[in-house]
Amino acid sequence: MVREWDPRTASSAEIASLLDTLNAVLAADLPQDPPWRESSLREYLTEVMPGERRISWVAQEEPGTNGAPGAILGQVQVLLLGDIGVLEVLVHPSARRTGLGRDLVRTAARRVYQEGFSAIGVEVVGDTPSVAFYESLGFTREYVETRSVLDLSVVDWAELAEMATGIGAGYHVEFHPGGPPDELIEAYARAKAEVRDVDDGELRPSSYDPERLRDSLDCLHRRGMKPYIVLALHEQTGEVAGLTEVVVPAQHPTRADQYDTIVVQDHRGYGIDRAIKARMLLELRSAEPDLAEVQTWNAQANEAMLKVNAELGYRPDRDWCEYSVDVADLVHRLDASR
Ligand SMILES: CC(C)(COP(=O)(O)OP(=O)(O)OC[C@H]1O[C@@H](n2cnc3c(N)ncnc32)[C@H](O)[C@@H]1OP(=O)(O)O)[C@@H](O)C(=O)NCCC(=O)NCCS
């Protein structure tokens, strides 16, 4: 049975059941990834940026004879932002290839269509069943990135400390746990607005103006995701010349996510990328002692950044793709296949 589901009001047993399914999916499809934890999972599923909406449905087994709620075997959610719906679908490995994934997508797609959105986008992880699944539904690949993972247990910390100081004269590097200080928000947003050649994919939009940036930091905190920032300040102008952002999510705190890394055009060639990323890892080592890995996503064409990441010890892990589909086409195709 597929029904609309609001994580805000869901019982703790349902949240725990969804977590079990998510971890079964990870064990089947991404066995090297750490399992997720329950901490802040409800907030992770609930909180959104102003102007965005997330709608969710679950496929749940019938209640047991003792009245215990049935397990959640599948979930679909769609985040409505700008003019697209960003889809996420999970089906427990024990319930796959029965058409459940397709039913979940049909339910979400119809709503996205009714809401007047024209396109649906989805992140698809390479070498998992998702690739064949979304291609069978008519989604096409828009963009490919490589995910790389850094295992902190093999990092040469002395070498890293040297990299952290290898920056041209005239720059000052600062570490800010929690986000940039308020007096730097405007300069920070300017750096992000100028350069969009980032570590990030298009389904994870960056924030380019101060208000949006504040909202985005606030949303991260509410979702239980702690941002850390290292920035390089150009001493002469006070401008933010470079920045790097890492987020430690309460849901998988042993593996952090690298978000944007940006070096503003005029300040390239001074070793800023390498120095700020190295400084970040050194800071995280003491700020987050349980952290074991950091993962990052790069466009395959971004050779300069890939080179620095390789020097830091990142190893390519898998393709991470963005697929999209026209909503009306998807709804027609799914209705015709019933
Ligand atoms: C992708 C996923 C949702 C598919 O769910 P599902 O219920 O098995 O999909 P369906 O049964 O509706 O399959 C629909 C069609 O997709 C295609 N398909 C799905 N899985 C496939 C596979 N493993 N190999 C080949 N084709 C596949 C087939 O064409 C299938 O139709 P068919 O069974 O009639 O041949 C499921 O595998 C899943 O949850 N994967 C993890 C997704 C995810 O987000 N992961 C993130 C962390 S890895």
Please say if the pLDDT value at position 201 is more than 50. no
Better-predicted residue by pLDDT, 208 or 246 = 246
Whether the per-residue pLDDT at 114 is higher than 60: the answer is yes
- Give the number of the atom of ligand 1 that is nearest the alpha carbon of residue 103: 12
* Distance from the alpha carbon of residue 134 to the mean position of ligand 1, in angstroms: 8
For atom 26 of ligand 1, the residue with the nearest CA is 132
pLDDT at 204: 47
Higher pLDDT, 13 or 207: 13
Closest CA to 231 of 170, 163, 279: 279
- Nearest CA owner, ligand 1 atom 19: 133
Residue 322: CB atoms within 10 Å:
19
> What would the pLDDT profile of 230-272 be if each residue is shown by its tens digit?
999 999 999 999 999 999 999 999 999 999 999 999 999 999 9
Atom number, ligand 1, closest to the C-alpha of residue 128: 48
Output the CA 95–ligand 1 centroid distance in Å: 10
Question: What is residue 198's predicted lDDT score, i.e. its pLDDT?
Answer: 46
Confidence class of residue 183 from pLDDT cuts 50, 70 and 90? very high
- 3-state DSSP of 279-309: HHHHHHHHHCCCCCEEEEEEECCCHHHHHHH
Summarize the confidence of residues 98-102 as an average pLDDT.
98
pLDDT tens-digit profile of 290-325? Answer: 999 999 999 988 888 889 999 999 999 999 999 999
Cα 125 to middle of ligand 1, angstroms? 12
Residue 67: per-residue pLDDT = 79
The structure tokens listed for 333 are 């195709």
* Rounded-to-integer distance, Cα 10 and Cα 74, Å: 15
> 109, 80 in Cβ contact below 8 A?
no
**Strands, sheet with 315-326, edge to edge from the N-terminal-most edge strand:** 2-4, 53-60, 72-81, 84-91, 119-125, 315-326, 140-151, 293-299, 255-263, 240-249, 225-234, 171-177
CA distance 247 to 314: 17
Does residue 207 carry a pLDDT above 70? no
20 CA to centre of ligand 1 in angstroms: 18
**Encoding tokens for residue 10?**
């869901």
169 Cα to the center of ligand 1, angstroms = 53
| Ligand 1, atom nearest to 30 Cα | 48
Span from the CA of 75 to the centroid of ligand 1 (angstroms): 13
In the predicted model, is pLDDT for residue 107 greater than 50?
yes
pLDDT of residue 200: 46
- 22, pLDDT greater than 60: yes
Please report the pLDDT score of residue 195 as a whole number: 66
- The SS3 call for residue 204 is coil
Q: Which residues line ligand 1 (CB under 6 A)?
A: 25-26, 29-30, 89-91, 96-102, 125, 128-130, 132-133, 136
Residue 48 scores a pLDDT above 80: yes
327, amino acid identity: V
The confidence score (pLDDT) of residue 177 equals: 98
Residue with tokens 């940006």: 262
Please give the residue that has the higher pLDDT: either 137 or 198: 137
Q: Which of 119-133, 184-198, 275-289 has the lowest mean pLDDT?
A: 184-198
**Cα–Cα distance, 60 to 46 (Å, whole number):** 19
